[in-house]
Amino acid sequence: MTDAALYFTGPETVEVRETSVGPPDADELLVDTRASAISAGTELLVYRDQTPGDFPADETLDALDGDLSYPLQYGYAASGVVSEVGADVDPDWVGRSVFSFVPHQTSFRTTPDSVVALPPGTEPAVGSLLPSVETATNIVLDAAPRLGERVVVFGAGVIGLCVTRLLAAFPLESLVVVDPIERRRALAASFGADRTTTPTALDDPADAGLGGSGAALDDADLAVELSGQPSALDDALGVVGYDARIVVGSWYGTKREPIGLGGRFHRDRIDIVSSQVSTISPELRGRWDRDRRMDAALERLGRIPADELITHRIPFERAAEAYELLDSATDETVQVILEYE
């Protein structure tokens, strides 16, 4: 059977091209992909040519060893079934459902230590959500929410909703989610947010739909920025109080906005820190490594309402339609999955 792979070939252009995968080497697995999740954050930046072309794709993933200049393969959320193993690999791997951080492709070769064995019965589309849950786990570890805190999450995309789900398990005083899209606000409420509002309503608590609890949006202890919009940093600065924390999980690529750091940010000692899933925070490395974080994410994968997150399932050969949909129909889409025969 001829294999195929997805390539980003120019701004707003993707192509499915034939490729040759071949049999596994002695120490490898051959995995037939069943589903792969499209990231509406990083992948759309690549699709829209909003990334620095000479920037490494991801130095921590062997499958993404190039830079972000066209043409390139990109993606990191493939779920599949092991169809064949090399001579030195335990044959019990055959038939197991696995996840791997590889680009969108009908099949791939990799080593056993480069895959995550999924729990038996895991639907392939659910397995492809694992990196989103791992990213959310990393963000919550970096945010370190505390008992009784007031927390605001900016952005109710896939990562924002996963973070909301995890934060909802903490004994917080309040959890507010900010997003301009009504459908996503409704999802945030079903994922555990106490209240939701829109970016435009932040300046007028009476219109924010907060049921009279406007204080939750002017003296927050913690804000988590996951909207993908640099301007949301200004909004975050406006809702947190003295000595508060802002954790930025968004990657903005080449997008720029003026941020007002000349006012409360300085005098109120507000901390702005980055959260990036490629590494573990230096403050946590004494107790945490990537294996422990992945185990934590894998345990929580089944607690994420996947059917509510996944709005579209599109055949891999029609991948161009999937990216066009994500690029143009933001009100309709949350998680788009590519499915493989």
**Alpha carbon distance, N-terminus to C-terminus of the chain:** 12
Tell me the Ramachandran region of residue 6: left when phi exceeds 0, alpha when psi lies from -120 to 50, beta otherwise: beta
User: Would you state the pLDDT for residue 212?
Assistant: 40
* 197-226 per-residue burial string, b: 16 or more CB within 10 A, e: under 16: bebebbeebeebebeeeeebbeebbbbbbb
Pick from 138, 135, 134, 88: nearest CA to 113: 88
Output helix, strand, coil percentages for the chain, rounded to the nearest 5.
Answer: 30, 25, 45
Could you give the 3-state DSSP secondary structure of residue 279?
A: coil
User: Would you state the pLDDT for residue 214?
Assistant: 43
Q: Are 57 and 66 in contact (CB under 8 A)?
A: yes
User: Would you state the pLDDT for residue 264?
Assistant: 87
What's the rounded Cα separation, in Å, for the pair 7 and 10?
Answer: 9
In 102-170, DSSP assigns E strands to 107-110, 116-117, 150-154
Query: What does the pLDDT profile of the chain (341 residues) look like in tens digits?
Result: 589 999 999 999 999 999 999 999 999 999 999 999 999 988 999 999 998 766 555 555 565 566 788 999 999 999 999 999 999 999 999 999 999 999 999 999 999 999 999 999 999 999 999 999 999 999 999 999 999 999 999 999 999 999 999 999 999 999 999 999 999 999 999 999 999 999 998 866 555 444 444 444 789 999 999 998 999 999 999 999 999 999 999 988 888 888 888 888 888 999 999 999 999 999 999 999 999 999 999 999 999 999 999 999 999 999 999 999 999 988 889 999 999 98
User: Would you state the pLDDT for residue 213?
Assistant: 42
Q: Are 165 and 191 in contact (CB under 8 A)?
A: yes
Strand 13-19 and strand 3-10: the pairing is: antiparallel
User: Would you state the pLDDT for residue 251?
Assistant: 86
Q: Kindly report the CA angle at 155 between 333 and 211, in degrees rounded to 5? A: 110
User: Would you state the pLDDT for residue 261?
Assistant: 85
* 275-306 per-residue burial string, b: 16 or more CB within 10 A, e: under 16: bebeebeeeeeeeeeeeebbebbbebbeebeb
User: Would you state the pLDDT for residue 207?
Assistant: 53
Strand 78-85 and strand 29-38: the pairing is: antiparallel
Residue 177 β-bridge partners: 153, 196
User: Would you state the pLDDT for residue 215?
Assistant: 41
Q: Do you know the residue count of the chain?
A: 341
Q: Are 17 and 104 in contact (CB under 8 A)?
A: no
User: Would you state the pLDDT for residue 221?
Assistant: 97
Q: Are 226 and 162 in contact (CB under 8 A)?
A: no
CB atoms inside a 10 Å sphere around CB 55: 12
